[in-house]
Structure 1
Amino acid sequence: MTGSTVEFVLVRTWKVILRVLSVPVVLIARLLTVCCGGWFEQLDRKHRIKDDWYIIPFFFSAVFKYVWSVYRGKFQFWYMFERHVARNGNQPCISYPRPLAKKGEFELETYSYRETYDIVLRLSHLLYNEYDVREGQTVALDYTNKPMFIFMWFALWNIGAVPSFLNYNAIGAPLVHSIKIANVKSVFIDPQAAGPVKETEQAIRKELPDVKLHFLTEEKVNNIIMNAESPQFLQDPKKRSPPYATDFQPACLIYTSGTTGLPKSAIMSWRKAVIGCTLFGWVLRIKNDSTVFTAMPLYHSTAALLGVCAVFSQGGCVAISNKFSASSFWKQACMTRSTHIQYVGEICRYLLHTPVSKFESQHCVKVAYGNGLRADIWQEFRERFGIEVIGEFYASTEAPFATTTFQRGDFGIGACRSYGTIINTVLSLQQTIIRVEPDDETTVYRNKKGLCEVAPPGEPGEMLMKIFMPKKPEATFQGYLGNNKATKSKVLRDVFRKGDAWYRSGDLLKSDEHGLWYFIDRMGDTFRWKSENVSAAEVEDQIMVFANYMMSAVAVVGIKVPNHEGRAGLAVLELAPQFRNLRGDVKFLNDMLESLKKSLPKYALPTFVKFVDEIEHTDNHKIKKKCYKDQVLPHGAGGDEILYWLKDSREYRPLTNSDWLEIMSGASKL
């Protein structure tokens, strides 16, 4: 029997099985209801059978197709994209409200799957023949949100290169490190994002003389790739998909601040980009007639993987905003006729603070999905904007898996994982929450046998995800490129039995009696502010670089601010005795601010600063950060502390009662 015959038989057999499995859930539910009266409805309310059954048949189908693609050596996302071009060539693929000179006005651009494919092939020809991009190379993209980002990305996938998504806000040492750690050969730079690169260009050319910086003129490139007469380039499949390739190799590289400060290059494997995003798209009910609107930066995994890849996996359309704007968000959602929107918690609160607009009642959005939507505004957000479903999920850039919800009504508000009994039982073998030490949340609790314990419902613990081949963890968790130490630090061994291995999320979650999971907070020194991970250690280092001889000690923590998502940075400064006269000196703080701006992104600049006579330490000389994380605003627990706050990202000034009222009312933004 030939290989093609075997393939035909397997595919036909599987299609028959799927036809049986894919009998509509509603029909099955109605039949059971008729036959069993209210008994099935009671059972479904308790175990959410219909929700689970929606996922299970598709899961088996998707896994079978993916395993078959791995066997054939064509598991890269490019081939899935080509299939949708063949099937849905005239369907919209990318929608872009291009900003016009007049603020708040846009011109809608739409590209079908066929048009996108042809543009990508023309761009591939340009990159291959004029810029010497070759298969196997790592090529960095420093682009803002626009169709060209996706065109460049997929052109690199066609050629067989690995795209590396630079944070276009990165500047100085973090930018140089990002290029260096990924062994980047070329950087393609959007004119809109060129400022930080040009400021760092001298350092890049000095430290990385072999790296090619390409400042592209968008008009010139568009004249080529939008011209139907321009030549195209389609890579030889043997070069794009060599026989030695594996599905856990990098599909792309996405940077995360992690806990060490300098960016780490997280490996987004083909397995995660293809099968993970396909399942995610199905759970969030993204179809081939769906349009998902995102104002998240495409260099983040949220927009890149759970936006673009998840949408394209289902043959849908992704609508991208050049940047987030609360005032025009719903206008753009209306223009693109979006059925889904992506969010982070801050976006939802910003939108709630905007004046009522006619566009918020004219949109087609039924599903909003993202992470960080707080339970206190969950229903208010949904009711004001007419959103039927919230798809809160838990994921991180480097995590091998994600959790999802598809929350309707009143059940499960605030949860980031919500499935029925069947899926929860299966997932218990792969995801868990373990107990941590009560006095040190960064340390896992171990019993007398040296093993971990599952946290009972209601008790916060660290979320873990199982690594199925402990001796070959990279098959499940690829970690960070060129940073073996950071990768190993995310693997916890001997958890429930000797020799097992689990991925550490570094986050505290808790479960409830219904099996739902809720995100609590980030662990340790890393905290989240403005949807970004901030490394306290890196901020501390940069403060000490500025004032090491004037400072005895510095502690940076994330603190809660009422009505704000995440944790704002608080820098606690202990001046050296001979410089105590600088305590409360605003000029000193603003000189420090100018220094920090050169080495830190805007979101990492301390939002608050206070001076202390002595920073508390433990017996082994570690700073007691826990006592600063509960800072009371605006004037401390006793009401007599003087704090300084970062106003408009421009200057530090004493935090007054009137300032605090403006912050609480939203008149002043942190």
Structure 2
Amino acid sequence: MADHEVSFVVVRVLKFVFRAIALPIVLLVRLMTILCGGWFQSLDDRHKIKDDWYIATYFLLAVPRYMWSVYRGKFQFWYTFERHVKNSGSLSCISYPRPLNRKGDFDLESYTYRETYDIVLRLSYVLYHEYGVREGHTVAIDYANKPMFIFLWFALWNIGAIPSFLNYNSVGTPLVHSIRIANVRAVFIDPQVGAALKETETTITKELPQVKLHYMNEETVYETIMNPNSPQFLQEVEKRSPPFATDFQAACLIYTSGTTGLPKSAIMSWRKAVIGCTLFGHILRIKKNSTVFTAMPLYHSTAALLGVCAVFSQGGCVAISNKFSASSFWKQASLTKSTHIQYVGEICRYLLHTPVSEYETKHCVKIAYGNGLRADIWQDFKNRFGINVIGEFYASTEAPFATTTFQRGDPGIGACRSYGTFISKILSIQQTIVKVDPDDESQVYRNTKGFCEVAPVGVPGEMLMKIFLPKKPEATFQGYLGNKKATKSKVLRDVFRKGDAWYRSGDLLKSDDQNLWYFVDRMGDTFRWKSENVSAAEVEDQIMAFANDKISAVVVVGISVPKHEGRAGFAVLELAPQARNFSGDVNFLNEMLSTLRKSLPKYALPTFIKFVEEIEHTGNHKIMKKNYKNQVLPHGVGGDDILYWLKNGAEYKPLTNADWIDITSGTAKL
């Protein structure tokens, strides 16, 4: 019997056994609902029995099926994609409102699963025979949001290569570092966003001469891959899925900033891409007739994994915007007939600040999911745009697990984890919030026995996720490619008992008496601004590299700005004694800005700057970052601080009261 026939039989047997057990329970639940009426509804309101049942029943079927795919050696997402091509080939797979001009006009492109599959096979032939891409190669994609990104991505998966998603904002040293640590063989570049790479090309060629840079001529490539007569390439299973492969190996590489100062290449395992995204898609009610619209960059895990992979795992359609535009967001969602949208908190606030559009009432969107939606605008967002459900989740690029909500009505506003009693009990084995050191929130608290303690209800603590094989942590948490130190730093050992191991999220969360969890803040030196993670250490290093003869110390933190999501970069400069005359020198700051632009992406440039005679330290010589994180704008607690701000993103100017009014009213954009 062939492998696919055995697989079919096993899955059918699993379904039969599962339904034989599940059907009586379903009938019992429905009977209780009819007979007990309000009593059962009250019970369900408290314990979310129906929601837990919806998740648990799917989980109990999906996991055995996935384990069978691992046993067969066909656990890669490519086979999930092929299954939908075979079973639902005529359904929409990709929708793309291609921008025609700056007026907000679009030409809607659409590709079915079968069309996408054939295009990918033709592109695979081009990559294999014309560009020499082979199985096992790591190949970078430096691309804007468009179908070609997904075509390249899946063609690499077909060949058996590992895609590496470059952040097209990255430039200079961080970009070279990103290519180097992943051992990238070639980079496929979209001319639309290739300026940063072009600017760094000389350095790449000098330091990494083996890396081939391919600027894609999309018109020529499209002529080939859209031609049904062009040859196709389908990789042999033994090469795409070698016998020695494991499901915790890299499916793709996605870059994340951290406290080390340079980007880290997070390993996205097949396990996360397949089983994690499949469960996520089910929880967010993505179906075969669903279309999920995303304006998030595909080089991020939010759009790549929780967008494309989660949608394709359910046989749905992903609609991608070339780039986020608040003014045309709902027009694109309407054109693509999207049922879901992805967000980050900043997007929701931007949309609320736009003038009323005819399209915000014409769309089909009922579910919005993402992270960072603040409680203060949660209901306003739902009410204005007619959203029924918010699927706020907690996840990070490298995290082994995620938390989710499916928030309807009023209960659970602001939560990033909301399950019923049953699933919460199960997850308590795998997810927890522990106390942090009150004097240093970047460190967990340990009691007299040397162990951590669960944070009390309402008290912020660090979220931890259990690593089930402490002696083989890579099976649960793959970490960062080529960076053992950073990977090791994310694993906390001897947490509740000797020998256990947990993944450190680096984020503060808190719980309430209903066992709902809420995101509080990021820990340590990384903060989030404009939907991007900013490494404070990287910014500090670049400032010191520019003026280490004039600046004796620098501290960079993220600070809260009213009516803005995330935290804006705030650089505190301690001038060297011989350079005290530079205090308040705007020319000096703008010379520094000119240099920083060459090495930092726009979102990492400090938004606010302050000169000080001496940076504050604790008694054990640690910088008192907490004090700077709590900087009062615009002029400090006493009203006599002089700050400078990056006005209109163009140059540093003294921050005046009039400027502050413009910032807080939304007239001036940070």
Take 2:114 and 2:33, find their aligned partners in 1: how far apart are those partners?
45
Work out whether residues 258 and 525 of structure 2, in 8 Å CA contact, stay in contact via their aligned partners in 1. no
* Gap change, CA 1:614 and 1:2, over 3 Å in 2: closer
Work out whether residues 490 and 505 of structure 1, in 8 Å CA contact, stay in contact via their aligned partners in 2. yes
Gaps of 5+ in 1: none
* Gap change, CA 1:3 and 1:658, over 3 Å in 2: closer
Q: What letter matches 1:494 in structure 2? A: D
- Aligned pairs for 1:184-199 within 5 A: 184-199=184-199
Structure 1 residue aligned with 2:149: 149
| 1:248 shift after superposition | 0.2
Q: What is the CA deviation profile of residues 318-365 of structure 1, one whole-angstrom value per residue up to 9, with x for unaligned ones?
A: 000000000000000000000000000000000000000000000000
Identity %: 77
With normalisation by structure 2, the TM-score equals: 0.98
| 1:260 shift after superposition | 1.4
- Aligned pairs for 1:184-333 within 5 A: 184-333=184-333
| 1:647 shift after superposition | 1.1
Secondary structure of the residue aligned to 2:407 is coil
- Aligned pairs for 1:223-622 within 5 A: 223-622=223-622
Work out whether residues 25 and 53 of structure 1, in 8 Å CA contact, stay in contact via their aligned partners in 2. no
Structure 2 residue aligned with 1:114: 114
| 1:19 shift after superposition | 2.6
Q: More deviation in 546-555 or 289-298?
A: 546-555
Q: What is the CA deviation profile of residues 607-662 of structure 1, one whole-angstrom value per residue up to 9, with x for unaligned ones?
A: 00011121112233322111111111111111111111101211000111111111
Q: What is the CA deviation profile of residues 72-114 of structure 1, one whole-angstrom value per residue up to 9, with x for unaligned ones?
A: 0000000010000011111000000000024211100000000
* Gap change, CA 1:25 and 1:169, over 3 Å in 2: farther
With normalisation by structure 1, the TM-score equals: 0.98
Q: More deviation in 440-449 or 38-47?
A: 38-47
Structure 1 residue aligned with 2:89: 89
Q: Report the number of matched residues.
A: 670
Take 1:25 and 1:558, find their aligned partners in 2: how far apart are those partners?
51
| 1:17 shift after superposition | 2.3
Take 2:6 and 2:342, find their aligned partners in 1: how far apart are those partners?
42
Secondary structure of the residue aligned to 2:351 is helix
| 1:302 shift after superposition | 0.1
Take 1:638 and 1:616, find their aligned partners in 2: how far apart are those partners?
17
Q: What is the CA deviation profile of residues 512-559 of structure 1, one whole-angstrom value per residue up to 9, with x for unaligned ones?
A: 110100000000111111111111111111111111010121111111
Take 1:344 and 1:37, find their aligned partners in 2: how far apart are those partners?
38
Take 2:609 and 2:20, find their aligned partners in 1: how far apart are those partners?
63
Take 2:28 and 2:512, find their aligned partners in 1: how far apart are those partners?
29
* Gap change, CA 1:65 and 1:133, over 3 Å in 2: same
Q: What letter matches 2:460 in structure 1? A: P
Q: What is the CA deviation profile of residues 242-292 of structure 1, one whole-angstrom value per residue up to 9, with x for unaligned ones?
A: 000000000000000122121100000000000000000000000000000
Q: What is the CA deviation profile of residues 104-156 of structure 1, one whole-angstrom value per residue up to 9, with x for unaligned ones?
A: 11100000000000000000000000000000000000000000000000000
Structure 1 residue aligned with 2:68: 68
- Aligned pairs for 1:33-44 within 5 A: 33-44=33-44
Q: What letter matches 1:141 in structure 2? A: I
Q: What letter matches 1:646 in structure 2? A: L
Q: What letter matches 2:542 in structure 1? A: Q
Secondary structure of the residue aligned to 1:365 is coil
| 1:33 shift after superposition | 2.4
Take 1:34 and 1:224, find their aligned partners in 2: how far apart are those partners?
60
Take 2:360 and 2:8, find their aligned partners in 1: how far apart are those partners?
50
Work out whether residues 417 and 516 of structure 2, in 8 Å CA contact, stay in contact via their aligned partners in 1. yes
Structure 2 residue aligned with 1:59: 59
Hey, which bits of structure 1, 4+ residues long, moved more than 2 A?
1-13, 17-30, 33-39, 618-622
* Gap change, CA 1:644 and 1:7, over 3 Å in 2: closer
Take 1:283 and 1:390, find their aligned partners in 2: how far apart are those partners?
12
Q: What letter matches 1:52 in structure 2? A: D
Take 2:25 and 2:172, find their aligned partners in 1: how far apart are those partners?
55
Structure 2 residue aligned with 1:660: 660
Q: What letter matches 2:579 in structure 1? A: F
* Gap change, CA 1:367 and 1:514, over 3 Å in 2: same
Work out whether residues 21 and 57 of structure 1, in 8 Å CA contact, stay in contact via their aligned partners in 2. no
Take 1:518 and 1:354, find their aligned partners in 2: how far apart are those partners?
28
Secondary structure of the residue aligned to 1:587 is helix
* Gap change, CA 1:578 and 1:66, over 3 Å in 2: same
* Gap change, CA 1:6 and 1:553, over 3 Å in 2: closer
Work out whether residues 284 and 391 of structure 1, in 8 Å CA contact, stay in contact via their aligned partners in 2. yes
| 1:8 shift after superposition | 6.0
Work out whether residues 405 and 416 of structure 1, in 8 Å CA contact, stay in contact via their aligned partners in 2. yes
Q: What letter matches 2:273 in structure 1? A: A
* Gap change, CA 1:531 and 1:22, over 3 Å in 2: farther
Secondary structure of the residue aligned to 1:628 is helix
Secondary structure of the residue aligned to 1:13 is helix
Work out whether residues 25 and 50 of structure 1, in 8 Å CA contact, stay in contact via their aligned partners in 2. no
Take 2:555 and 2:311, find their aligned partners in 1: how far apart are those partners?
42
Q: More deviation in 444-453 or 372-381?
A: 444-453
Q: What letter matches 1:172 in structure 2? A: G
Secondary structure of the residue aligned to 2:564 is coil
Take 2:521 and 2:225, find their aligned partners in 1: how far apart are those partners?
46
Take 2:264 and 2:5, find their aligned partners in 1: how far apart are those partners?
46
Take 1:649 and 1:391, find their aligned partners in 2: how far apart are those partners?
33
Secondary structure of the residue aligned to 2:81 is helix
1:636 aligns with 2:601: no
Work out whether residues 467 and 477 of structure 2, in 8 Å CA contact, stay in contact via their aligned partners in 1. yes
* Gap change, CA 1:160 and 1:39, over 3 Å in 2: same
| 1:27 shift after superposition | 6.1
Take 1:24 and 1:321, find their aligned partners in 2: how far apart are those partners?
45
Secondary structure of the residue aligned to 1:641 is coil
Secondary structure of the residue aligned to 1:239 is helix
| 1:28 shift after superposition | 4.9
Take 1:180 and 1:601, find their aligned partners in 2: how far apart are those partners?
19
Q: More deviation in 639-648 or 476-485?
A: 639-648
Take 2:274 and 2:469, find their aligned partners in 1: how far apart are those partners?
20
| 1:37 shift after superposition | 4.3
Work out whether residues 527 and 558 of structure 1, in 8 Å CA contact, stay in contact via their aligned partners in 2. yes
